C-alpha cells in the first residue's frame, strides 16, 4: 500500500481557495506547504464563544452578541469622517456597531437579517462597539462559523490576507489533510507525559474548543519542539561517548589533594570533584561545564582534574583567554603542585622565543606534566605526548574551533569547561545541552563582602574623597570607563581623558596608570603586573579588567556610566574586588535614565549571587540578548519559550536522552519521523555546539 501524502508534501496552492497568487502571499509568511500552515500558529485568540444576550452586555466587557439588524446608517460627521452605524436589536435593548471611514461596511448588513458582533462594549449614551468583528448569520440561527461563536484564532498576516480568509484556508487544510499528518512523538512517550496527539494538537491550536484544549495543544507542540532539540543534544552526546580515557583513581588521592590546601573544600567543591572523578574514571570522554562566580573556587576543582590525569601518567592542559589569567593560574597551580614534584609550565605568546621553544619541547617529550597557557597552546607547533585532560577556563571567550583545536591535541581527552558567567539552567540545557553541568553556588568562607552603592553625579566629589582615603590606607582602586577615547558625538567619559585629568587633579600625588584593550598585550601585562605588585595605586581601565583578575589588595571599583552595562557584565566587573581580607566597595555611578537601567542597578545593589543575577538578566533581556556577546548557538525556537516553558524542556530532555539511549541510531521504524524532523523542522538553522 502506498502511503498517502502528508502535509509537508502538499504545496499550499492545492488548498481550496488558494491559487498561485495567494500562494505567493503565504510564501511571505514562510508557509509553502500544508504542514507549514498547520504549524503557523495564531498570534493570539479571541474568546467569541460565549454569546451574551444584548440585555446582558456590560460596558468594559469584551463580548460576542447576536441580534437582528434593525437599522444601517451612514453619514459624515462635521469633521468629514464617514461614520457607519449598525443597530442590533435583541430582547428589549439594542447595541450599535460603529465604524469610521469604512464605506463598504454598510453594504454588508441588511435590516431584518441576523448578525453577530464581537468587541469591547462601551457606554456612550448608548451601548456601542467600535469596529466590532462581525459576522452575518445566514439562515436560521448561528450556523457553523469560523469567526464567531467560538474561540477564534488571530494570525500575524501580511496586508493582503485577511483573518477571515486565513481561517477559511486553515480550516479547509485541516479538514482535507490533517488526518494524514504523522505523529513523531512515540506513543509511550505521549502516554508517560500525558501529551495529546498531533491531530488534536494541530486542530486545537487553530480552533480550540476550549482554553483547556488550547493549553493541551500548546504543551504538546512545545514538547515536540524541545524533544527534537534534545534528541539532537542526546545524539551529539552519544556520538561523543566512544573511546575516552579511563582514568584510574588511586587510593588516597583525594586525601592527598585535600591536604594541599590551607582551607577546607566547600561541600559543592567536593560534589563537583566527585562528579569529575566519575566522569574521568568512565570510558566516556568527560564534557563537563563548571559554572561558578568569580572566587567560587573553580580553579581548585580544575586542579583536582589535573592531578588525576597526571597521576595516571597523562598530561593536563589548562587554557585561559588572557595572558593575565594564564599567569595567575600558573602561579596558583605551580605553588600547590611543584611541592608534589610535578612539572608545571607556562606557555603564552608574550614569552621569549627561546623559552617558548624549550617549553614546547618539554610538552612534546612529556616532561611537562601540566601546561598552562593562552591561545598559544593551540598553535600548530605545540604537540603533547599524552594529553589526558583539557581545561578551558572562561570557555565562552573561545570560539568553537579553538576549543576543538585544544581537544585535538590529544586523543579524546577529558574536557572541563569553566565559566564565571553563569547561565541559568533553562538556557544551559538549550545551549549546552550536550554537556554535564556543575554549579558552584556558595562562596568559600573568609571572603569579604562587597558593598555596592549606586550613586548619582552629585556625589562625585565624595566618591573621589572616599577613594583617596582607601588609597591612603594602603589599598588600591579601579575606575572603569565604557570607552578608551572620547568622541564628539557622545557625552560618555573616556578612559584617556579621565586618566589625564585625574592624575593631574583629583589624584595628583598618587600613582595612577591606565590599561585598555587597544594597548599592546605586553604593555597591558606590564601595567597589570605593576598594579599587582602595588606599584600603582589607582588603575584607570576599560572593561579589559573584566576577566579573572585577582588582586586582593584592590578594595574599590568605581564603574562610570554603569547604566550602560548589562547585569552580568556589572557582576563580572564587581567580581574583581572583594578578593582579599579587606572590606570592599563597588560604586556604580550613573544616571539610570530608563526603568530597565534602574532595575539593573537596584538588582546589583541587592544581590551578590551570580546565578540570581544571571536569571534576572535573562528575564530582563531575553535569551537572545542575554547570550548576545557570548558564543550563543541559540536555536531558533518557533513555539517554545525557554524561560516560560522550562519545565516542558526538562521533561522533553529526559525523554530524548532515554530514547537515544535505547535507540542511538534512531533505527526503529517509529523513530524515523524524528530523524526526518531533525533535518527538516529546524531547517538546518539549528546550530548546536559541536566539539
Contact residues: Mg ion, CB under 5 A: 299
Residue 6's binding partner among ligand ADP, Mg ion, none (Cβ under 5 to 8 angstroms by kind) is none
Nearest approach, Cβ of 320 to ligand ADP (angstroms)?
10
Beta bridge partners, 614, equal: none
The CA distance from 96 to 148, in Å, is 18
When the beta carbons of 300 and 405 are compared against ligand ADP, the nearer one is 300
C-beta separation of 308 from 249 below 8 A: yes
Cell digits for 676? Answer: 526526518
Cell digits for 176? Answer: 482535507
When the beta carbons of 478 and 499 are compared against Mg ion, the nearer one is 478
How would you classify the pairing of strands 133-137 and 114-123?
antiparallel
When the beta carbons of 112 and 446 are compared against ligand ADP, the nearer one is 446
Helix and strand totals (H; E) in the chain: 21, 22
Looking up cell 505567493, which residue turns up? 24
The CA distance from 319 to 362, in Å, is 17
Cell digits for 42? Answer: 495564531
Looking up cell 554603569, which residue turns up? 562
Closest CA to 151 of 67, 60, 44: 44
C-beta separation of 596 from 620 below 8 A: yes
When the beta carbons of 22 and 441 are compared against ligand ADP, the nearer one is 441
Residue 391's binding partner among ligand ADP, Mg ion, none (Cβ under 5 to 8 angstroms by kind) is none
Residue 555's binding partner among Mg ion, ligand ADP, none (Cβ under 5 to 8 angstroms by kind) is none
Q: Is residue 462 classed exposed, middle or buried when 0-12, 13-18 and 19+ CB atoms within 10 A define those classes?
A: exposed
Residue 55's binding partner among ligand ADP, Mg ion, none (Cβ under 5 to 8 angstroms by kind) is none
Nearest approach, Cβ of 283 to ligand ADP (angstroms)?
29
Residue 373's binding partner among Mg ion, ligand ADP, none (Cβ under 5 to 8 angstroms by kind) is none
Residue 300's binding partner among Mg ion, ligand ADP, none (Cβ under 5 to 8 angstroms by kind) is ligand ADP
**Residue, CB closest to Mg ion:** 299
The CA distance from 389 to 228, in Å, is 31
Nearest approach, Cβ of 266 to ligand ADP (angstroms)?
5
When the beta carbons of 189 and 300 are compared against ligand ADP, the nearer one is 300
CA distances from 270 to 99, 194, 277, 297 (A): 70, 38, 10, 11
Residue 292's binding partner among Mg ion, ligand ADP, none (Cβ under 5 to 8 angstroms by kind) is ligand ADP
Q: For residue 193, what are the contacts with CB-CB under 8 A and spacing of at least 6?
A: 223, 651, 655
Nearest approach, Cβ of 234 to ligand ADP (angstroms)?
29
Nearest approach, Cβ of 301 to ligand ADP (angstroms)?
7
When the beta carbons of 326 and 342 are compared against Mg ion, the nearer one is 326
Nearest approach, Cβ of 420 to Mg ion (angstroms)?
6
Residue 407's binding partner among Mg ion, ligand ADP, none (Cβ under 5 to 8 angstroms by kind) is none
When the beta carbons of 265 and 382 are compared against ligand ADP, the nearer one is 265
Cell digits for 253? Answer: 588521592
Nearest approach, Cβ of 428 to ligand ADP (angstroms)?
17
Give contact residues for ligand ADP (rule: CB under 6 A).
263-266, 269, 292, 294-300, 420, 444, 446
Cell digits for 677? Answer: 524532523
Residue 266's binding partner among Mg ion, ligand ADP, none (Cβ under 5 to 8 angstroms by kind) is ligand ADP
Nearest approach, Cβ of 588 to ligand ADP (angstroms)?
22
Closest CA to 303 of 340, 248, 267: 340
What single string gives the DSSP state of each residue in 63-91?
EEEEEEEEEEEEEE-TTS-EEEEEEEE-S
When the beta carbons of 430 and 569 are compared against Mg ion, the nearer one is 569
Nearest approach, Cβ of 339 to ligand ADP (angstroms)?
15
When the beta carbons of 230 and 438 are compared against ligand ADP, the nearer one is 438
CA distances from 340 to 108, 344, 410 (A): 91, 11, 24
Residue 329's binding partner among ligand ADP, Mg ion, none (Cβ under 5 to 8 angstroms by kind) is none
Each as own residue / partner, the long-range contacts of residues 129-134 (CB below 8 Å, 24 or more positions apart, any chain) are 129/95, 129/96, 129/97, 129/98, 130/98, 130/99, 130/100, 131/98, 131/99, 131/100, 132/97, 133/46, 133/48, 134/97, 134/108
When the beta carbons of 299 and 568 are compared against Mg ion, the nearer one is 299
Q: Angle between the 567-574 and 595-606 helix axes, to the nearest 10 degrees?
A: 30
For 591-627, give the secondary structure using H, E and C: CCCCHHHHHHHHHHHHCCCHHHHHHHHHHHHHHHHHH
When the beta carbons of 447 and 468 are compared against ligand ADP, the nearer one is 447
Nearest approach, Cβ of 334 to ligand ADP (angstroms)?
14
Residue 348's binding partner among Mg ion, ligand ADP, none (Cβ under 5 to 8 angstroms by kind) is none
Nearest approach, Cβ of 302 to ligand ADP (angstroms)?
8
417: left (phi over 0), alpha (psi -120 to 50) or beta: beta
Residue 297's binding partner among Mg ion, ligand ADP, none (Cβ under 5 to 8 angstroms by kind) is ligand ADP
When the beta carbons of 277 and 503 are compared against ligand ADP, the nearer one is 277
The CA distance from 211 to 513, in Å, is 64
φ and ψ at residue 353, rounded to 5 degrees: -65, -35
Residue 221's binding partner among Mg ion, ligand ADP, none (Cβ under 5 to 8 angstroms by kind) is none
Closest CA to 269 of 153, 35, 441: 441
Nearest approach, Cβ of 298 to Mg ion (angstroms)?
5
When the beta carbons of 397 and 681 are compared against Mg ion, the nearer one is 397
Nearest approach, Cβ of 619 to Mg ion (angstroms)?
26
How would you classify the pairing of strands 82-89 and 94-100?
antiparallel
Amino acid at each position: 500500500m502506498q502511503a498517502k501524502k502528508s502535509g509537508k508534501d502538499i504545496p499550499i496552492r492545492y488548498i481550496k481557495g488558494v491559487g498561485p497568487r495567494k500562494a505567493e502571499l503565504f510564501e511571505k509568511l514562510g508557509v509553502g506547504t500544508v504542514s507549514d500552515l498547520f504549524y503557523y500558529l495564531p498570534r493570539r485568540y479571541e474568546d467569541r464563544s460565549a454569546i451574551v444576550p444584548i440585555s446582558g452586555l456590560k460596558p468594559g466587557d469584551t463580548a460576542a452578541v447576536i441580534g437582528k439588524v434593525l437599522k444601517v446608517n451612514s453619514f459624515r460627521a462635521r469633521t468629514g469622517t464617514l461614520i457607519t452605524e449598525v443597530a442590533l436589536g435583541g430582547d428589549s435593548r439594542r447595541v450599535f456597531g460603529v465604524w469610521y471611514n469604512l464605506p463598504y461596511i454598510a453594504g454588508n448588513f441588511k435590516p431584518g437579517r441576523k448578525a453577530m458582533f464581537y468587541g469591547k462594549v462601551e457606554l456612550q449614551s448608548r451601548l456601542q462597539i467600535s469596529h466590532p468583528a462581525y459576522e452575518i448569520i445566514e439562515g436560521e440561527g448561528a450556523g457553523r462559523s469560523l469567526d464567531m461563536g467560538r474561540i477564534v484564532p488571530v494570525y500575524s498576516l501580511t496586508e493582503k490576507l485577511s483573518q477571515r480568509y486565513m481561517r477559511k484556508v486553515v480550516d479547509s487544510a485541516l479538514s482535507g489533510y490533517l488526518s494524514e499528518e504523522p505523529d513523531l512523538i512515540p506513543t509511550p512517550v505521549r502516554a508517560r507525559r500525558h501529551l495529546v496527539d498531533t491531530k488534536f494538537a494541530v486542530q486545537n491550536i487553530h480552533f480550540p474548543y476550549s482554553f483547556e484544549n488550547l493549553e493541551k495543544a500548546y504543551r504538546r507542540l512545545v514538547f515536540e519542539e524541545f524533544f527534537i532539540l534534545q534528541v539532537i543534544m542526546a545524539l551529539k552526546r552519544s556520538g561523543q561517548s566512544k573511546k575516552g580515557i579511563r582514568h584510574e583513581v588511586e587510593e588516597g588521592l583525594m586525601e592527598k589533594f585535600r591536604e594541599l590546601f590551607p582551607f577546607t573544600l566547600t561541600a559543592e567543591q567536593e560534589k563537583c570533584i566527585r562528579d569529575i572523578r566519575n566522569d574521568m574514571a568512565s570510558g566516556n570522554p568527560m564534557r563537563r561545564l563548571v559554572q561558578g562566580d568569580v572566587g567560587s573556587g573553580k580553579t581548585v576543582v580544575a586542579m583536582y582534574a589535573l592531578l588525576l590525569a597526571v597521576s595516571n601518567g597523562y598530561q593536563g592542559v589548562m587554557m585561559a583567554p588572557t595572558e593575565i589569567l594564564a599567569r595567575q593560574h600558573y602561579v596558583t597551580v605551580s605553588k600547590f603542585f611543584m611541592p608534589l614534584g610535578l612539572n608545571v609550565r607556562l606557555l603564552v605568546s608574550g614569552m621569549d622565543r627561546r623559552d617558548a621553544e624549550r617549553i614546547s619541547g618539554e610538552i612534546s617529550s612529556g616532561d611537562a606534566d601540566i601546561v598552562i597557557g593562552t591561545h598559544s597552546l593551540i598553535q600548530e607547533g605545540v604537540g603533547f605526548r599524552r594529553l589526558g585532560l583539557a581545561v578551558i577556563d572562561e570557555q565562552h571567550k573561545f570560539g568553537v574551533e579553538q576549543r576543538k583545536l585544544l581537544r585535538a591535541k590529544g586523543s579524546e581527552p577529558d574536557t572541563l569547561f569553566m565559566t564565571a558567567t553563569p547561565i541559568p539552567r533553562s538556557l544551559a540545557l538549550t545551549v549546552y545541552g550536550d554537556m554535564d553541568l556543575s554549579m558552584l553556588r556558595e562562596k568559600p568562607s573568609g571572603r569579604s563582602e562587597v558593598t555596592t552603592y549606586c550613586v548619582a553625579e552629585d556625589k562625585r566629589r565624595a566618591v573621589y574623597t572616599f577613594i583617596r582615603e582607601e588609597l591612603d590606607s594602603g589599598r588600591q582602586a579601579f575606575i572603569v570607563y565604557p570607552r578608551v577615547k572620547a568622541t564628539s558625538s557622545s557625552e560618555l567619559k573616556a578612559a584617556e581623558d579621565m586618566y589625564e585629568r585625574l592624575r593631574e587633579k583629583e589624584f595628583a600625588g598618587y600613582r595612577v596608570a591606565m590599561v585598555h584593550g587597544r594597548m599592546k598585550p605586553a604593555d597591558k601585562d606590564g601595567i597589570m603586573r605593576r598594579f599587582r605588585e602595588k606599584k600603582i595605586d589607582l588603575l584607570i581601565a576599560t572593561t579589559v579588567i573584566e576577566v579573572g583578575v585577582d588582586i586582593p589588595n584592590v578594595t574599590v571599583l568605581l564603574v562610570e556610566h554603569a547604566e550602560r552595562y548589562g547585569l552580568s557584565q556589572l557582576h563580572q566587573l564587581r567580581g574583581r574586588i572583594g578578593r582579599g581580607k579587606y572590606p570592599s566597595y563597588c560604586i556604580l555611578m550613573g544616571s539610570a535614565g530608563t526603568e530597565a537601567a534602574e532595575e539593573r542597578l537596584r538588582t546589583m545593589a541587592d544581590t551578590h549571587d551570580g546565578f540570581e543575577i544571571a536569571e534576572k538578566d535573562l528575564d530582563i533581556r531575553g535569551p537572545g540578548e542575554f547570550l548576545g556577546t557570548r558564543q550563543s548557538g541559540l536555536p531558533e525556537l518557533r513555539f517554545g519559550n525557554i524561560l516560560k516553558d522550562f519545565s516542558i524542556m526538562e521533561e522533553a530532555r529526559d525523554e530524548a536522552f532515554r530514547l537515544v539511549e535505547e535507540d542511538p541510531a534512531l533505527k526503529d521504524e517509529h523513530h524515523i519521523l524524528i530523524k526526518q524532523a531533525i533535518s527538516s523542522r529546524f531547517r538546518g538553522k539549528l546550530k548546536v555546539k559541536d566539539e
